[in-house]
Amino acid sequence: MHRTAHRLLPLALVAGVACDKGLAPMPQPTSCPPDVVGICGTVTFAGAEPANTDGVFIIAYHTFPQSTADLYSFVPAPPLQSLPRPFTGSYSYTIGVPNGRYEWVVAVWKRVGLLIPDNLEEAGFYRDQAVPTQPGIVVVNGTVTDAIDFVIDFDNMHPVCFYIPPCPP
């Protein structure tokens, strides 16, 4: 018995040093740069990327668009940079935006061609945690707002007119 206890003593010491904070949660790594004012999180891709994809962009709106003219009042301002390919798995993103309240953080899929509403579709957005069918509101106040995570689903995209009717037949 004494010999077994002697062998386990180093293991117990290592375990005791490693657990000096008891059952406190382990800090989670963050992909958000500390020196950026903006929004960051993780997007997870679902579905197959359409063949005519020009890019996928994450943008934010202070107020939810009410007209096609409002679609161009997003931040960050152009030029935008697409998320990197391949559009599979999960990807950490950061967008620099000014302090403020954002009613819609959305992934926009763009078809090859001009930047016009007919070439844009919503591919996913940050959702309200209490009402998942509604967009989640994000407030940026002097630092980066993290954990704004959502899914980009190429099999469930919506044309702009889905949100701003009328849609053509």
Q: What is the pLDDT of residues 25-47, one digit of tens each?
A: 333 344 577 788 899 999 999 99
Specify the length of the chain in residues: 169
pLDDT band at 12 (very low <50, low <70, confident <90, very high): very low
Half-sphere exposure of 145 (CA within 13 A, CB side): 21
169 vs 163: CA distance, rounded Å: 15
Cβ proximity of 35 and 51 under 8 Å: no
Cβ proximity of 98 and 75 under 8 Å: yes
pLDDT band at 168 (very low <50, low <70, confident <90, very high): low
Inform me whether the pLDDT recorded for 13 exceeds 60. Answer: no
